[in-house]
Structure 1
Amino acid sequence: MTTPVLDALRPFGRTGVEVTPLAIGTSSWGEERAGESVAERTARVATMADAFFARRLPSNLLDTSNMYGDHHSEEHIGAAIARVGGVPDGLVVQTKLDRDTATGDFGGDRMRASLAESLERLGLDRIPVLYLHDPENIGFEAAMAPGGAVEALVAMKEEGRATAIGISGGPVDMLQRFVETDLFDALVTHNRFTLLDRSADALLDAAAERNVGVTNAAPYGAGVLTGDPRFADRYGYRPIHPETRAALERMAALCADAGVELAAAALQFSLREARVHATVVGPGRIERIAETERWATAPIPDGLWSALEAARPPAEVALDRL
C-alpha cells in the first residue's frame, strides 16, 4: 500500500520542465455561478490564483486555455502574476490556442491571434508549454494542412514564443495520429483514462515511446467519480451509458467495503500511472484543496485495485465508441 508524494517533481517528458503529480485546472475560473456576484467570483478566483503563485497549493503546474472561463481564466491568472511580479521560479503555466468561438475559425492566423490574446492576458512574452486545443473541431487533415493550425504552432516554438508545444483534445485515435507525427512535446487527454474508461491506453503508449509529457485531465469523469449525486447521470459531459452506470455502482460498493472514498480511488488511479506525468484537478474554491489532498494521499489497499479493474465496464461503451 503506497500513496503519492505530492511535492515530488518529475521530468515532464521532453518539454524541459519538471512537474508535480497534480496540476491545477482553471477551466471554471471566470465562469458565472448562480447567486455569485462578479466581485465574489473575482475574489474567489483570486484566492486560488494567489495561493498557487505563493506555493500554497500541492502543485507547480497551472493549466489554462484561451477560452476557459469564457475567456476570463487567463485574465485572473495574469492579475495574480502581476501581483507577485512575474511567475516564480519552479512554477509552470501552460495554456492552449483556441478557435474563434464566434466563427469557428481554427486557421493559422487565428492561432497567432489566440497566442497574442493569451500573452496579453497573462502578461508574459512566452509560454513554457503551449497546446493546440480541441483539434477535433476541424479534424487531423485540416489541422495539419499547409498554413494551418499545426504549422502555426510549430512556428511559435521556432520563434521562441513557446518553449514546448503540445496537443490537447478528446478523441484518442485522432490524438494518437498527432502524437505519432513526433511534432509535439506534450499531450493533454481527458476522460479517456479513468476507472471507467481506458481507451487512452494506446495513446499513452505512443506518448511514452516518444518521451511526450502527458497531462491526464478529468480523472473523475467530469464529476461522476466523486460520488456527488449532481453528476450521477453523466460521464465525460455526456449521458452515462447504462453499463457504465452499473460499473460505477460496482466500484462504489467495492470502495465502500474497503473504507475508501470513490473519489480517492479515481484520483489515485491516474496518479499511480507511470505514463502520466501530471493529473489535472479543478477545485473551484480554496476550501476544496484539502479535500483533493486527502483523496490524493488516502491509503488504498493493494487488493482494491484488482477488484476495481475487474468491475470496469466493457470497452465498447468507452466515450469514443458510443
Structure 2
Amino acid sequence: MQRNTLGKTGIEVSPLCIGTSPLANMGSLYGYEVTDARAVATIRSVFDSGINFLDTSNGYGEDGIAERRVGMAIRENGGLPDDFILQTKVDPDPETRDYSGARVRASVEESLDRLGIEHLPILALHDPEFMEQDGFAPGGALEALVAIRDAGIADHLAVASGSVEVSQRYLDTGEFDVVLNHNRFTLLNREAQGLFERARAAGLGVLNAAPYGGGMLAKGPEQQPKYCYDERDDAFADAAFAMAEACKRAGVPLIAAALQFSVRSPLVDSTVVGVSRPERVGQTLDLLEVQIPESLWEELETLVPDARI
C-alpha cells in the first residue's frame, strides 16, 4: 500500500489509519458491544491488510479495554508487524477526571502495560478541550508529555482534539509534531481546514479522523440523524440529503465519497477510520477503489453548508 510521510517525523504511514474506539464497547456512542474474540480478529485483520497504522487511547472503554484488546492481538501475532505504527493517547482519570502531569505519566504507564510494549512512535494528548486543569501550567500535562518524549518513551507528540482553537494553542508551543482532528474536515464540514493548512505549512503531520461525521456520511442521513455524536442542524441535514442524492445520481456510494474526500486531500497524511469487524477492513479498502468523476466532486463542493457544528 502507498505510504505518506507524516510531516517532519519522517514516519511512513498508510493513507488509512484504523481507529479502535468502536472495539471498546462504548454503547453510548455506537449502540453495540464487541467481544474480545471479534476485536482481536479485527486488529489481526488490520495487521494482514497492508495498512500499517493503528490508533488507540487509554480512555477507550472501561478499564482501557481497547488497549487491552490491541495488546492481546499483538501477543497473538507474535509482536507488531514490521514497520507498523501504533499510537495511543493519554487520558484523564476516568473517575476523578484528574488530568495533571502525574495523571499523564500514569496514563502512559497503564497504556504500555496493556499494550505490552515499551516504546511509542507517537503519543497524543487526548481531548485537552475538556481538561479541568491548566495543561500549560508548571507540572501540568504539557510538561509531563515533553518529559516523557525526552526520556525516549515516545518519539513524537501529537495533539488529538475536536477543538480547532485548543489544538492550535498546543501546536503553537512547538512541542508537537502531529495534529489529529475529528469530524471537522469532511464532505459537510471544513472547520479544521485552516488548522490543517497551518500545520502543513509548519511541516507537521496531519491526521484526519471521523471522515463520516460520526456515521451520517456512512449510513446515510436517513438512517443516522446525528452528526459528530450530536443532533445535526437543518443546514447539515439539507446538505447531507443533497449530497446523498448527488452521489446516487452518479452511481457512487456516499460513504466512498466521504472517505476519499479525506484521503485525496493534500492536507491529510492519514485518515483515521474506526472499524468493528474483521471484514470492515477490506470493505474500507475497497471504498478507495471506487471511481468518482470530477464532476461529482465539483457538485459536492457547491453543497457544503456554511453552518458549523
Does TM, scored on the shorter chain, surpass 0.5? Answer: yes
1:171-195: CA deviation from partner (whole Å, max 9, x where unpaired): 1122122212221011110000001
Q: Report the equivalent of 2:308.
A: 318
Over the residues paired in the alignment, what is the CA RMSD in angstroms? 1.7
Gaps of 5+ in 2: none
Q: Report the equivalent of 2:212.
A: 220
Q: Structure 2 vs 1, CA of residues 266 and 198 (structure 1 numbering), >3 Å: closer, same or farther?
A: same
Superposed, 1:169-248 pairs within 5 Å as 169-228=161-220, 231-248=223-240
Letter in 2 for 1:73: A
Decide whether the 8 Å contact of 1:23 with 1:280 is kept in 2: yes
Q: Give % identity.
A: 43
Q: Report the equivalent of 2:85.
A: 92
SS in 2 for 1:143: coil
SS in 1 for 2:7: coil
SS in 2 for 1:124: coil
- How far 1:15 sits from its partner (Å)? 2.0
Q: Report the equivalent of 1:147.
A: 139
- How far 1:35 sits from its partner (Å)? 8.1
Gaps of 5+ in 1: 1-6
SS in 2 for 1:219: coil
- How far 1:295 sits from its partner (Å)? 1.6
> In the alignment, does 2:110 pair up with 1:120?
no
Superposed, 1:23-34 pairs within 5 Å as 23-31=17-25
Q: Report the equivalent of 2:54.
A: 62
> In the alignment, does 2:244 pair up with 1:252?
yes
CA distance in 2 between counterparts of 1:145 and 1:296 reads 43
SS in 1 for 2:213: coil
Q: 281, 295, 299: which is aligned to 1:303?
A: 295
* Farther off after superposition, 284-293 or 243-252: 284-293
Decide whether the 8 Å contact of 2:185 with 2:211 is kept in 1: yes
- How far 1:230 sits from its partner (Å)? 7.4
- How far 1:79 sits from its partner (Å)? 1.3
SS in 1 for 2:21: coil
> In the alignment, does 2:4 pair up with 1:10?
yes
Give the number of aligned pairs: 305
> In the alignment, does 2:101 pair up with 1:108?
yes
CA distance in 1 between counterparts of 2:42 and 2:105 reads 29
1:27-82: CA deviation from partner (whole Å, max 9, x where unpaired): 1213167786xxx71110111122223xx224100000001133101111111212
Q: Report the equivalent of 2:280.
A: 288
Q: 125, 130, 133: which is aligned to 1:132?
A: 125
Decide whether the 8 Å contact of 1:182 with 1:210 is kept in 2: no
CA distance in 1 between counterparts of 2:148 and 2:109 reads 11
What's the TM-score, normalizing by structure 1? 0.91
CA distance in 1 between counterparts of 2:185 and 2:227 reads 12
Q: Report the equivalent of 1:4.
A: none
Superposed, 1:64-79 pairs within 5 Å as 64-70=56-62, 71-79=64-72
Q: 256, 262, 274: which is aligned to 1:270?
A: 262
